[in-house]
Amino acid sequence: MRSLTVSMQQPPRVIHPNGRTRKHKWRWRVVRDFRALVHSLAYCQIQEHFRGQPPMWPAATAQVTIYYGRGQRRQDDDNLIAWLKPAFDGLQDAGVIANDRHLTHLPPIHERDPAKPRVEITIDAGPRKKKK
Question: Is residue 10 a part of any domain in this protein?
Answer: yes
Is 67 domain-assigned? yes
Q: Specify whether the CB–CB gap between 8 and 118 falls below 8 A.
A: yes
The pTM (predicted TM-score) of the whole model is: 0.89
* Euclidean distance between CA atoms 66 and 108, whole angstroms: 7
Please give the span between the terminal C-alpha atoms of the chain, in angstroms, as a whole number. Answer: 27
Which structural domain, as residue segments, surrounds residue 36?
Answer: 3-125
On whether residue 131 sits in a domain, the answer given is: no
Mean local confidence (pLDDT), 19-23: 71
* In a domain? residue 115: yes
Helix spans in 16-94 (H): 24-49, 77-83, 85-94
CATH number of the domain where residue 28 is located: 3.30.1330
| pLDDT tens figures, 50-65 | 988 999 999 999 999 9
> What is the domain count for the chain?
1
Q: Residue 110's pLDDT is what?
A: 97
Residue 132 lies in a domain: no
Q: Is residue 108 part of a domain?
A: yes
